[in-house]
Amino acid sequence: MDRLTSMELFVAVAELGTLNKAAEKLDISNAAATRHITALETRLNVRLIERSTRRLALTNIGIEYYKKCKSFLAELDQSEAEITSSAVEPEGTVTITSSISFAIMHITPLIPKFNKLYPKIKINIVGANRYYDIIDSNIDIAIRTREFEPDSNLTIRKLATTHRILAASYDYIKKRGKPKSIEELEGHDILLYSHANNPRNLSFQKGDEIKNFAIDPILETNDGQIVRAAALGGSGILIQPLYIIYQDIVEGRLIPILTDWKLPELTVNIAFQSRQFMPIKNRLFIDFLMEDFKNKEYERYWNSIQ
């Protein structure tokens, strides 16, 4: 039997006092109503209603169950009303966390268009170069550059793949020269982003050949934009993902170095809580971000840099 219908029927019986009136209210037959109440008591293994020839009366435990059913059904009605309202015109706040660089380059530029489409949805960006616990920190959406999440309660959707690349400004290369081999990096000024995976050791690959290089940086920082600014200013060679420096390379502000050697691939993912019923505001932003990445073909452009 349908448990929700049984609960609705039981509440109607409690309030109307007869099974006939309750059945009429729910537009079901008296026989079906009787089966629902019997199935409900059988499942709970308790007597909820004392039956007499004149009127039905709730038992003590039936009174308690009525209160719980009434509260549950009211909350369900309220939730459905809110969802229906949101579906018509979605509203609320979407809290997103990502690295500061990603937020600046790939989230902030989208907000005006997203707000025009959904004026009642507000965006809260938590820029951080560390990974927040999504559940404990009340994060709706997180942008990560790792293959999997240690928390099995999270779902990930891939945005794109990319890789880190070495690059420096024209002024730096004019002054210090352009390394032509991994060994030649030894004599250069390296700018280090400290939150990269195993940041002080680079593992390069060309075909089946692998070479490792240990970094002794002249500058170390926990923010990708500081590394980028230092490289643009001619301070040294950076190692950063293409989603941060692609435009600088295309427009000639930075020059790629040792592109015949590849660093490990990075996957840019969206992570969020695994829920059967995701808030529509969250789903709308996730779909909007994924559609933007698809339309702009970021993955194809990033991986075209050789």
What number of helices (H) and strands (E) belong to the chain?
11, 13
- Using one digit for the tens of pLDDT, what is the confidence trace for 137-173? 788 999 988 655 555 567 888 999 988 999 999 999 9
SS3 268: strand
- Which domains are delineated in the chain? 3-85 (1.10.10.10), 92-160+267-302 (3.40.190.10), 162-265 (3.40.190.10)
Query: What average pLDDT is seen over the chain?
Result: 87
pLDDT of residue 55: 67
Residue 56 has pLDDT above 80, yes or no: no
- Measured in whole angstroms, how far is the alpha carbon of residue 48 from the centre of its chain? 45
**Is 158:245 a contact under the CB 8 Å cutoff?**
no
CA–CA gap between residue 306 and residue 293 (Å, rounded): 21
- Measured in whole angstroms, how far is the alpha carbon of residue 57 from the centre of its chain? 51
Kindly state the helix (H) or strand (E) to which residue 11 belongs, with its residue range. Answer: helix 3-16
Residue 130 phi/psi, 5-degree rounding, is -140, 165
Residue 68 has pLDDT above 60, yes or no: yes
Q: Which tokens is 122 given?
A: 């507000």
pLDDT of residue 211: 93
pLDDT of residue 155: 83
- Using one digit for the tens of pLDDT, what is the confidence trace for 234-259? 999 999 999 999 999 999 999 999 99
Q: Which tokens is 84 given?
A: 């229906």
- Using one digit for the tens of pLDDT, what is the confidence trace for 258-287? 999 999 888 899 988 865 567 888 989 999
**Residues sharing a CB contact under 8 Å with residue 299, sequence separation 6 or more, in sequence order:** 160, 161, 162, 293
In total, the chain counts a number of residues equal to 306
Is the pTM higher than 0.85? no
Give just the sign of the alpha carbon dihedral 93, 94, 96, 102: negative
Q: Is 92 left (phi over 0), alpha (psi -120 to 50) or beta?
A: left
- Using one digit for the tens of pLDDT, what is the confidence trace for 79-91? 776 666 555 678 8
Tokens 């643009």: give the residue.
232
Residue 231 has pLDDT above 90, yes or no: yes
* DSSP letter (8 states) at residue 162: E
Nearest 5°: CA angle at 172, between 162 and 258?
40
The strand pair at 92-98 and 141-144 is best described as parallel
CA–CA gap between residue 103 and residue 118 (Å, rounded): 20
